[in-house]
Chain A
Amino acid sequence: MPKLNAVLLLAVCLLFSRAGRAAAPHESTYAPRPAPTTLIQGVAVLTGTGERLARVDVLMQAGRIAALAAAGGLDSAALQAGSAAGRRNEAGGGQERRPEAVPVRVINGAGKWLTPGIIDVHSHLGAYPSPEVASTADGNELTDPNSAGVWVEHSVWPQDPQFGLALAGGVTTLHILPGSGNLFGGRGVTVKNVPSRTVQGMKFPGAPQSLKMACGENPKRIYGEKEKAPTTRMGNVAGHRAAWAAAAAYREKRRKFQAGDADAAPPRDLGLDTLAAVLDGEILVQNHCYRADEMAVMLDVAREFGYAVTAFHHAVESYKIADLLAEAGVCSAMWSDWWGFKLEAFDAIPQNVALVDAAGACAIVHSDSAEGIQRLNQEAAKAVASATRMGMTIDDAQAIAWITSNAAEALGIADETGSIEEGKAADLVLWDRQPFSVYAHAEKVWIDGHLYYDRQDASRRPASDFDLGQTVAGQDQ
């Protein structure tokens, strides 16, 4: 029987390869759009690596950040020749091709600011789209507290008009998570914020999936109302531990099967597949958890079963255990100032982000909101101001990491994006002024070097299918 499966699998693979389909099932089919060589001159830069550069030239080439130099250091005439040479090389040795001048798009960055593309590590766009009606509420599979087998990407509606609004706020990459009603909510997905007919066309190539876990009020409230476990916090943790124990046994069986013990083959279980992949280090744990004491318990659960928590989400009490989080190497993904809407958020303070950062732990500002995602720059700014007000010292160059490089780190994509460094993807936002001002607008947004949004050019503002024939949300008309 296993043999037959293998044959079938081979046949399927052949079929796909014959049809020219490179992508395996569920893999990304994202295709970068044309990325002309673009030079931004004399712009102020927050690199995302802790630096502020007063006036520099930034060159995008073939979708990457090709060069950074002191203002005036990159000569556009020389670049045109270089660009032509680059193109000739790309064409390959076999083909004869005459070098031709490739126009370099030059943008005057004087008085403007460039940051890495904004990354939101906690979003539900597409799974809880606008309009927010029952027929599109696809983020929480509330039929069992363990829904580790569901993948939120199978809920994401690429036509959600909220994607385009987030792009206007400079968001180039977002991590979409299932909701927090379950102990195990399912797998999250990292997407590029590009218009696409399919979710596969948005998936960030090579980005690991995540496992959404939740502690605290939500699971116990939802299942408490159903008179089903868990109804308490201790019930939550017992539910977590039982699932990890099952995952460890499943993984052991699978290991034995792979080592040649045909009888050990466990029946395929989608939920345990997810948990086992966490134990194998292939899937990152994003754990919704508000209270400090509960985060400490979840760290114990992780230690007990040998997995790592990548980030606690919401984490409104991280400031109470910032030292423990720094030591454990766990990120906190936080709002700047959401407060008091539920009891486990009653101790939220607007200095949370800064206190976590100051303790040397990884601090991230997230949105969890289709409104908040449009202005994560302002949320970071508020977190800075709240800390400054209390006598702390936080630099904007450091704070931009909360919505760029630290976020990339927590999604396992920091080698690719999240900072302005030579060789990184040209995911960039040009702001019309210092981006921590309430008056700042994202003027231009590039993803892999392609200009996806231009505030000055109506034809460069995406409209989803849903927007057609309606008033286009948020746009002048």
Chain B
Amino acid sequence: MALAVLPWLLAAPSWADLAIAGGRVYTLENPEPLQDATILIAGGRIEAVGVNLSVPFAYQRIDAAGKIVTPGLIESYSHFGLREIELEPSTDDAALLEYPLAPAFDVSYALNPNSTLIAVNRMEGVTRAIAFPLAGVDPLAGLAAAVRLGGEFLLEPRTALVGYLDAAATDLAGGSRAAALQRLFRAFAEASRFSPSRYRPGPGDYSRHDMAALKRFITSGKPLVLAADRAAEIRRAIDLAAAHDLRLVVLGGAEAWRVREALAAAGAAVVVRVHGNLPRSFDALGARLDNAALLHEAGVRVIFTGAGLGGATNLRQMAGNAVAHGLPWHDALAGLTRRAAETWGMEDVGVIRPGAHADLVIWSGDPLEVTTWAEQVVIDGEPMPMRSRQTQLFDRYQDLSKPYGYR
């Protein structure tokens, strides 16, 4: 036990120990919150949580009376650090567009820890995220990375393998998803018995490098993420994951509710984009606002993304709308925290219990409401500055009568 604790104690940075006192704390260990509870934080981890805890003298105290405290939120689908401005290709490293280096394409090499998106999203309570490769020239887009929105940015490279089987991906394998799926099934089958000396790639086949990466992935225990909306592709995704004993995460899944029993039986998770209820493509004719609720009822793990054109509030707004359309409130919160952490293999994250990472948010009210905000964000025990480029612009322009042009 002591040995298990030591590494993080040794790595503990120099900031003060913290106490967050008086809040209504959702620990995610139990749906019922702890009222008027105190969280003690030492060495970046949670030391204790409970009511009637006394705060040791040396601890910096943050008053959370009348506030709600939750674990930090996890954005399960982002391009943080990979793409600064969508319409400026020079700022975008998310997709491989020129030559196929598919299963081996590792986005972590390009992650920019100084992205302005980090502070903007952290202001809304997001503390960790998965940075995804986008579809490029192959149904397999590459390897995603886990990132943290404070302190060291890269948490874990190659945290999941990502493929795209949605409507936009039809062109990725010569114009038919039949070919895309065949390519995937064949590559996975070959990769599991791959040996560099015996592999003779033909034209259009994955390189040795790719096959080696695919083989490493298959044995890594990390999740396979497949973007798919139509029930038909989701079923094939389940088959592929089952054939190789892989954990499946469906990204998007507009029609996932139609195959919810199969997804539940497969132990799959779905990253739901709650607002995506339009029959936007012929893959998404069954899109509906209660997708998350139906999946949850069937026993499928529901996690969230706020991806879209909107701001950083989107993530929790979408979770709130999932509640408005039938998902139990605490399960929505879990999808933003504990269940996302479990899905992405983040240990001791997304829960408030002794030993867990001290990623915490103090909210002005219900974190799933659009009328609330994050008052203080803490990442690995460090209170984050509640400032971003946006707050600096606000400060500059709040009073237009001030002399213009200087900090």
Footprint of B on A, CB under 8 Å?
130-133, 161-162, 165, 217, 319-320, 322-323, 335-343, 346-351, 355, 359, 369-372, 374-375, 378, 381-382, 384-386, 388-390, 436-441, 466, 470-471, 473-476
Contact = CB atoms under 8 A, between A and B. Distances in A.
B324 A474 contact: no
The 7 closest A-B CB pairs, nearest first, are A337-B311, A438-B320, A471-B286, A342-B87, A474-B277, A389-B373, A381-B370
Contact of B397 (A340, A355, A369, A466): A355
Nearest to B278: A130
Contact of A342 (B86, B369, B391): B86
B290 A476 contact: yes
Contacts of A437: 369-371
A158 to B, nearest CB: 16
A385 B124 CA distance: 12
A473 B85 contact: no
Interface in B359-407: 364, 368-373, 390-391, 393-394, 397-398, 400
Given A161-B279, A370-B278, A346 B87 contact: no
B288 A335 contact: no
Contacts of B371: 381, 384-385, 436-438
B288 A162 contact: no
Contacts of B398: 351, 355, 390
B5 interface: no
B323 interface: yes
Interface of B: 84-88, 116-117, 120, 255, 275-282, 284-290, 308-313, 317, 320-321, 323-324, 364, 368-373, 390-391, 393-394, 397-398, 400
Contacts of A323: 400
Nearest to B386: A389
Nearest to B285: A470
Given A339-B311, A382-B317, A390-B394, A438 B85 contact: no
Contacts of A341: 85-87, 309
Given A437-B369, A474-B289, A338 B277 contact: no
Contacts, number: 149
Nearest to B321: A438
A474 B397 contact: no
A132 B285 CA distance: 11
Given A339-B311, A350-B390, A131 B287 contact: no
Secondary structure dominating the interface of A: loop
Contacts of B86: 340-342
Contacts of B372: 385
B397 A385 contact: no
A343 B87 contact: yes
A349 B321 CA distance: 23
Contacts of A471: 255, 279, 285-286, 288
B288 to A, nearest CB: 5
Q: Which of A130, A343, A374 is packed against the most chain B CB atoms within 10 Å?
A: A130
A338 B277 CA distance: 19
Nearest to B258: A471
B117 A340 contact: yes
Nearest to A323: B400
B400 A165 contact: no
Contacts of B275: 371, 374-375
18 contacts: A131-B281, A133-B281, A162-B278, A336-B310, A337-B312, A337-B313, A349-B391, A355-B397, A371-B276, A371-B308, A374-B277, A384-B371, A437-B371, A438-B321, A438-B324, A466-B279, A471-B279, A473-B279
Contact of B279 (A385, A439, A470, A476): A470
A231 B401 CA distance: 35
Contacts of B369: 437-439
Contacts of B290: 476
Contacts of B321: 375, 378, 438
